[in-house]
Amino acid sequence: MERKVGVWLIFLLHPLWLALGNTEGNALHSLRSNLIDPNNVLQSWDPTLVNPCTWFHVTCNNDNSVIRVDLGNAALSGQLVPQLGLLKNLQYLELYSNNISGPIPGDLGNLTSLVSLDLYLNSFTGPIPESLGKLSKLRFLRLNNNSLTGRIPMPLTNISSLQVLDLSNNRLSGVVPDNGSFSMFTPISFANNLDLCGPVTGHPCPGSPPFSPPPPFVPPTPISLPGRTRVQRNL
Amino acid sequence: MAIFVNMVLGRHFPKILISYGLCLLLSCSLSSCTETDVACLKSIKASLEDPFNYLKSSWDFNNSTEGYICRFTGVECWHPDENKVLNLRLSDMGLKGRFPVGIQNCTSITGVDLSSNNLDGPIPDNISAIIPFVTSLDLSSNNFSGGIPKALANCTYLNILKLDHNQLSGQIPPELGLLARIKTFSVANNLLTGPVPTFQNANISREDYANNPGLCGGPLDPCPGSSKSPHT
């Protein structure tokens, strides 16, 4: 009697395991469908397999859940997909040195196990999602050398584990925070952007007082700073 | 063919040389020129005695694949495949010699840990020109002597400054109190005298000043001649 129950349980659970394995495989396959892959690096990404753990450039943990995606320097183009946010155990997302365009999906903020987010040297556009502030275990955030615009989200300063931040060579604007985890970051992390301002950049934000001895009061005038890219090397 | 080569080289060689040089200079200034970081590490290796061969064994400059210095012992790079040094951690390696000023060529360095070695001589007076973006500087447990350079006050990004367990003398430059990002500051176990700085945003404890012959003020006993301890 017990053996029969056991056998039924196996039949019951088996498709369930298939489905769980497939969520992550499906997510990665969506990514594959949205990328252009001239070198066929994604050739092994077979969605009919029970899980993606045998795919090249994918690493799983002992529970067959994806922990690493390593696609740096793979000549990929196309765009990312929000389904990446379903890889809930993902620790390393390495997509650097490709030609991937489009926005950084806000769903990446759901990757709460993420330790390293490397999207540098691509053609990403749009803003840095505020949701990245939820990545409380993030140590490496390297988004440099893209065409990202907008402001640096304040929630990033709450990521106390952040060790390496590189937002250089983008088209970011607005104030650069220097509180929280950002007290460890220097002009190097923010160099060559469109219109960043604040103490760390060396020029004050519009409407705020300059840094060294306050000048005589001057009635405020509307300021529109022209876009410029400068390497910040002053102290 | 030979005539052609002769013509080209003869007439245009200087121009070719100049434009090649200009190209090299331009590429160095537009992107961060990482030839300098290789020169930085070569200079550090050359200037320090390495009795236990920590550097000799791992710092091999013959292999020239991309980002090869990132695999050196103690070297942490900004990106794994680019020769751009982020942190240098050479703690407890028995290293001897002066402060390696060649580190100036690691133009993007933020973390410097030379603690627990046998380094001696002064901390360079122009330290802020050498490592302007340093956020964490640990020179503790060495044999550094002379004064604490005032220029450290220009290293505005310093969060951690550890100078304890050396033979530093004279006064602590009061300008160090202007370092707004300081979280950790330690000068214990030196030969320092005089009043301690007033830090804007940090609470430095007695232990961080301990074992100096004549430090006063702050968490320590008031300085001679003042009626009460100065408060931050």
The answer to whether the Cβ–Cβ distance between B183 and A183 falls below 8 Å is yes
Cβ-Cβ contacts under 8 Å between A and B: the total is 34
Report pLDDT for A8: 63
Examine the pLDDT at B18 and tell me if it is beyond 60: no
Report pLDDT for A95: 98
pTM: 0.82
Interface confidence (ipTM) of the complex: 0.82
Alpha carbons within 13 angstroms on the beta-carbon side of residue B29 total 6
With CA atoms as reference, report the closest residue to B130 among B42, B28, B46, B40.
B40
CA distance A60 to chain B (A): 22
Residues of A in contact with B81 (CB under 8 A): 72-73, 97
What are the two backbone dihedrals, phi and then psi, of residue B216, each rounded to the nearest 5 degrees?
-150, 170
d(CA A225, CA A206): 8
CA distance A164 to chain B (A): 7
Report pLDDT for A202: 85
Residues of A in contact with B132 (CB under 8 A): 235
C-alpha radius of gyration, chain A, whole number = 22
Report pLDDT for A22: 87
Contact between A55 and A48 under an 8 Å Cβ cutoff? The reply is: no
pLDDT confidence tier of residue A230, bands split at 50, 70 and 90: very low
Contact between B124 and B147 under an 8 Å Cβ cutoff? The reply is: no
Give mean pLDDT, residues A175-193.
97
Distances (CA, A) of B157 to A29, A162, B32, B184, B192: 44, 16, 20, 12, 24
pLDDT tens column, A83-101: 999 999 999 999 999 999 9
Report pLDDT for B215: 96
Collect all residues with Cβ–Cβ distance below 8 Å to B39 and sequence separation of at least 6: B102, B105
d(CA B5, CA B14): 14
Report pLDDT for A38: 97
pLDDT confidence tier of residue A232, bands split at 50, 70 and 90: very low
Collect all residues with Cβ–Cβ distance below 8 Å to A188 and sequence separation of at least 6: A166, A168, B78, B108, B110, B133
With CA atoms as reference, report the closest residue to B231 among B198, B187, B196, B182.
B198
Count CB-CB contacts under 10 A for residue A221: 6
- How high is the mean pLDDT of chain A? 87
Report pLDDT for B35: 78
Distances (CA, A) of B70 to A141, A202, B86: 18, 30, 10
Examine the pLDDT at B207 and tell me if it is beyond 50: yes
The answer to whether the Cβ–Cβ distance between B157 and A186 falls below 8 Å is yes
The answer to whether the Cβ–Cβ distance between B110 and A186 falls below 8 Å is yes
pLDDT tens column, A119-133: 999 999 999 999 999
Tokens 């080209």 map to which residue? B8
The one-letter amino acid at B131: I
What residue of B is the nearest CA neighbor of A120?
B79
List of E strands, B52-209: 75-79, 82-89, 96-97, 111-113, 118-122, 136-138, 143-146, 160-162, 167-171, 184-186, 191-195
Report pLDDT for A219: 45
d(CA A196, CA A174): 5
d(CA B220, CA B229): 8
Weakest-pLDDT range from A155-159, A166-170, B12-16, B209-213: B12-16
**Three-class SS of residue A11?**
helix
Give mean pLDDT, residues A174-194.
96
Examine the pLDDT at A206 and tell me if it is beyond 70: yes
Report pLDDT for B173: 98
pLDDT tens column, B40-86: 999 999 999 999 999 989 999 997 888 999 999 999 999 999 999 99
Tokens 């434009």 map to which residue? B19
Of A96, A188, A235, the CB nearest to B156: A235
Collect all residues with Cβ–Cβ distance below 8 Å to A73 and sequence separation of at least 6: A96, A97, A98, B81
Residues of A in contact with B133 (CB under 8 A): 186-188
Give mean pLDDT, residues A18-32.
83
Strands A92-94 and B214-216, by their bridges, are unpaired
Ordered by where they begin, the domains of chain B are 33-216 (3.80.10.10)
Contact between A191 and A231 under an 8 Å Cβ cutoff? The reply is: yes
Give mean pLDDT, residues B118-143.
98
Collect all residues with Cβ–Cβ distance below 8 Å to B203 and sequence separation of at least 6: B232
Weakest-pLDDT range from A26-40, A49-63, A116-130, B26-40: B26-40
Secondary structure element (H or E) that encloses residue A211, with its range: none
DSSP string for B192-215: EEEEPP--SS----GGGG-S-SEE
What residue of A is the nearest CA neighbor of B79?
A142
pLDDT confidence tier of residue B225, bands split at 50, 70 and 90: confident
DSSP string for A133-187: GG-TT--EEE--SSEEEEPPPGGGGG-TT--EEE--SSEEEEEPP-SGGGGG--G
With CA atoms as reference, report the closest residue to A93 among A110, A118, A124, A62.
A118
Tokens 């990403």 map to which residue? A124
| Residue A99: strand pairing partners | A77
- How high is the mean pLDDT of chain B? 88
The answer to whether the Cβ–Cβ distance between B79 and A186 falls below 8 Å is no
Examine the pLDDT at B174 and tell me if it is beyond 50: yes
Q: Count H helices and E strands in chain B, helices first.
A: 4, 12
